[in-house]
Structure 1
Amino acid sequence: MSPLLVLVGPMGVGKSTVGRLLAERLGVGYRDTDEDIVAAEGRTIADIFVEEGEPAFRALEKSAVRTALSEHDGVVALGGGAILDADTRALLAGQRVVYLSMDVEEAVRRTGLNAARPLLAVNPRKQWRELMEARRHLYEEAATAVVPTDGRTPEEVTEAALDALELKEA
């Protein structure tokens, strides 16, 4: 079993919103690996970062992604940093992967780059740019399709993703 499609991209790009819309339009289930981690751990991702650090969170994330990719046949959304793991990238090879992209101004507008985002606690614009410089090529390498989200509604992004993958609605 493998997902119908996997969404990757930075925090705040709309993976959860678009993922739910895609699942609905395609008549399949939706799964978010960040939500899986929160449910399994009984605490927020921010709390995991603060209490145990990023390496501990990344280990939980890697396991959650592996499980979701092997168990779920619908739409799966990965956390923004999941792409950093080489094993995760290997699991994405051969999958339909949509990279939802946005620029820093859109990120600021959407997320407010707020404190609930543990990697962006200090100087959020600069940190967001640095995260994207480290991750953009990984998102692009994993992607079957790149769908820009800047200035688009979730419905428009959903439509663009369906078109890019040539998927038919249920």
Structure 2
Amino acid sequence: MSGPDGPAVVLVGPMGVGKSTVGRVLADRLGTTFRDTDTDIVATSGKEISEIFIDLGEPHFRELERQAVRTAVAEHTGVLALGGGAVMDEGTRALLAGRPVVFLEMGVAEAVRRTGLDAPRPLLAVNPRQRWRELMEQRRPLYTEVARAVVATEGRTPEDVADAVLDALELKKA
């Protein structure tokens, strides 16, 4: 386990991949707490993420996200999940360097099945399949850059994915 120098595990990956679900399982297995920067943003701003995008725009959301990630990495010693686009920020990528980051990966068919086509995900509002592919083309190299390990989620339960993350990082279960 990491000490007060940051999270034990940081999960990155696209929206709908299961970062929050897997993160909670991991926290339980490691006997620690779970934190999600998207949840932090909603709590701090008092608005849902889709509302922030609509009312204030994506750049404003990304600034809130940068602050949320910085705070969480500094304060949280458990399992931390970052929003899908957090890695777009160069400062965030620098902050993640050398940390136990795992990229949870899935294919487009699985993404569409998991996120649904009517889910309130502002970046997928128009042509979700194509938009998801475009986002992944943009973000996959960044997820890979910050990750110590890549774990595929397709066809696996959250428990199986959590086990794969623990194995990849060589962490022991509580």
TM-score by length of 2: 0.96
Alpha-carbon RMSD across the aligned residues, in angstroms, is 0.7
Counterpart CA distance in 1 for 2:172 and 2:103 is: 19
User: After the TM superposition, which parts of structure 1 deviate over 2 Å for at least 4 consecutive aligned residues?
Assistant: none
Give the Å deviation of 1:57.
0.1
Q: Distance in 2 between matches of 1:123 and 1:110?
A: 15
Equivalent in the alignment of 2:17 = 13
Matched letter for residue 19 of structure 1:
G
1:51 to 2:55 alignment: yes
2:156 to 145, 152, 155: 152
Identity %: 69
> Could you say which residue in structure 1 is the equivalent of 2:82?
78
The DSSP-based 3-state class of the residue aligned with 2:126 is: coil
Per the normalisation by structure 1, the TM-score is 0.99
For 2:109, the equivalent position in structure 1 comes to 105
Unaligned runs of 5+ in 1: none
CA distance in 2, matches of 1:135, 1:75: 22
Q: For 2:113 and 2:158, how far apart are their aligned partners in 1?
A: 15
Q: Does 1:26 pair with 2:30?
A: yes
State the distance in 1 between where 2:26 and 2:55 align: 34
Equivalent residue pairs, number: 170
The aligned counterpart of 1:163 is 167
